[in-house]
A and B are shown apart, each in its own frame.
Chain A
């Protein structure tokens, strides 16, 4: 019982071929110290190489590159410690255009300094009720 796998339901969307998003389920083996971001990496490295997401780069929860919606709540997935048997729905972070799957265009508000020009484009975007 103690090492039940993690069940992830992941948002999938490739705007170059899909009209609408779908959700795909994956089963990831649990181990001590497993973080949600590591579980998503496990999916890409072992189950489905087509899954796109942004990794962390700071190792301390600062860069917020790995922000995603987890069961409807915005989280830094690098800080989310998983318990055995957890069941999670993972979607791209709300409020930013989706580039593909869990990758968003962080756009003007988060990464780009004010007053700087930056190449960008957008596809799907979801606004959350405040």
Chain B
């Protein structure tokens, strides 16, 4: 099959890229390929945090820029942050024009309390993820030169002399292989929360598709991967059994206090997200934890009334579009209905966002000709720590840029026929997962999550990271060859899980090697054995495949207008 522009992933970044590529020229055809039905899969739909764009009196793109770089611990590529802060208002207003429903406060947009994100002005516009994606879907409707390939998983990039010329994919519905030839390709596959035991990137598997395979696809094609150690963790709720949302968000919205197991207030907002994790981790490590091993948010001390707290909790779940979900919370909490009595227990180490990824420039170009990338799969935008609300701004700002430049590129180049032998090898590799006996992929995936959470979590050190490398070697040598998938080729979720496993191991290895390499602490990367931030480490770690092995080095940070402070 042939297309001009191939977009892989139909979350916010991919959908926005497809729209931009399609509107560039009606003669250009665009394939938007996704692991599930658009709007019913991917993680944009579940985002409820406020999308950051400047609107408040006195605020400016420059202030937004400075917030992002400061919270990113100066590891951001500033050319990307400039694009983010300058274009976010236009992209946000555009979404509303396209039908996204925004939560209002009277006749104004309800803006989130900036203490939750550390922003210097209120600029978090609450667009529930569902209506965010609905708006993009509505706009796709206007472009019949986009074809949707739903329930397709990409398994490999097809390349020719450092140029990406398409991708090999699997049609999940019938188990058939397709090779898609493209002049330009946009990678927008999102993040990697599934590599950890706790993650907000739920659900696991086909519908969340946060197994991080996009990073591995890019790596194997020869792309440069930066800051692969930079994971943003958030809390994972331990109790009550009804899920409420991000603890950082809840406390700032509901006026609760952060308490340890001894009932002492150990922290007050505002705090950057990495500090919220680190401070909770230290309480628990020192034994000041609850019986369930966590810390808790106490809403009984809030100055808000029960009704006001309930309203805030409902907004945190997604506002009006999550009304049914809120009703479920009420149904589940029927024996303890007053939220002021809920001690919301949580533990740090829930993987929330990944700051690292494919290295791009402000045109979303990678080091490989024909390969563009946007959204969470890229690195450099958020530096070492992402400020709340900027993920939504990121996906539409860079989605649009990737689509535009990919389309321009597609109009200037000729297609290259992929080698039949490469495609055949890939098909054989994928068929090779079918075996009568062995270990199910889920067992190996659980092992990966366990060692990643144990050794690559909120706090890292050399000894643990070496253990993680040993686990990776052992899984590759002993478990991977024994992995088996049985049964039909048709909608076989275990097969998809299996083909992701080697990629998950590659991504885990990139992350662990990068974490070992960065001998300092910065943002989401906290080394217990190197607790300080070092001026000499103001650079990206860079992983790249060289002669079939994983090479690691560094790359300079792009600084345009804000100089980092000295030591």
Contacts and interface: CB of A to CB of B under 8 A. Distances in A.
Contact of B488 (A17, A64, A116, A119): A17
A34 to B, nearest CB: 9
Interface string B304-319: 0000000000000110
Interface in A40-61: 41, 44-45, 49-50, 52, 54-61
A17 B203 CA distance: 29
A114 B141 contact: yes
Interface string A15-27: 1110000000000
A50 B487 contact: yes
A55 B206 contact: yes
Interface in B122-155: 128-130, 137-138, 140-144, 146-151
B138 A60 contact: no
Contact of A33 (B174, B332, B440, B494): B332
Nearest to B333: A33
B37 A81 contact: no
A118 B490 contact: no
Nearest to A81: B331
A65 B147 CA distance: 21
Nearest to B324: A61
Nearest to A60: B322
A116 B147 contact: yes
B319 to A, nearest CB: 9
A111 interface: yes
A42 to B, nearest CB: 12
B141 A16 contact: no
Interface string B148-179: 11110000000000000000000101100000
Contacts of A99: 151, 173, 490-491
A57 B138 CA distance: 19
Contacts of B206: 54-55
A32 B45 contact: no
B488 A57 contact: no
Interface string B321-359: 110110110011000000000000000000000000000
A106 B325 contact: no
Nearest to B442: A45
B332 A57 contact: no
Contact of B207 (A54, A112, A116): A54
Nearest to B318: A60
Contacts of B137: 113
Contacts of B171: 119
Contacts of B442: 45, 49
A45 B494 CA distance: 10
Contact of B208 (A55, A76, A101): A55
Nearest to B205: A55
Contacts of A79: 324-325, 327-328
Contacts of A114: 141
B39 interface: yes
Contacts of B141: 113-116
B148 A58 contact: no
A63 B130 contact: yes
Given A52-B491, A62-B318, A116-B144, A57 B325 contact: no
Given A60-B318, A116-B148, A32 B205 contact: no
B203 A56 contact: yes
Residue with the highest number of chain A CB atoms closer than 10 Å, among B40, B151, B325, B440: B40
A56 B129 CA distance: 13
Contacts of B150: 111, 118-119
Interface in A98-130: 99-101, 103, 105-106, 110-119, 121
Given A57-B203, A115-B142, A81 B43 contact: no
Given A62-B130, A63-B45, A111 B322 contact: no
Interface in B474-520: 486-494
Nearest to B446: A45
B41 interface: yes
A10 B145 CA distance: 40
A52 to B, nearest CB: 4
A121 B171 CA distance: 12
Contacts of A52: 491-493
B401 to A, nearest CB: 23
Contact of B489 (A16, A32, A56, A59): A16
A65 B295 CA distance: 34
Given A55-B208, A113-B137, A60 B317 contact: yes
| Most chain B beta carbons < 10 A, residue from A58, A100, A110 | A58
B36 interface: yes
B490 A106 contact: no
Nearest to A51: B493
Contacts of B144: 115-117
B439 to A, nearest CB: 12
Given A116-B141, A117-B144, A117-B147, A55 B203 contact: yes
A60 to B, nearest CB: 3
Given A81-B328, A111-B40, A44 B46 contact: no
Given A33-B332, A57-B203, A60-B317, 11 more contacts: A44-B493, A50-B486, A50-B488, A60-B46, A60-B130, A60-B325, A63-B130, A79-B324, A113-B137, A116-B141, A119-B147
Interface of B: 36-43, 45-46, 48, 128-130, 137-138, 140-144, 146-151, 171, 173-174, 202-203, 205-208, 241-243, 317-318, 321-322, 324-325, 327-328, 331-332, 440, 442, 486-494
The 7 closest A-B pairs by CB, nearest first: A33-B241, A113-B141, A60-B322, A65-B40, A62-B130, A55-B207, A61-B324
5 contacts: A44-B493, A55-B203, A56-B207, A57-B36, A116-B148
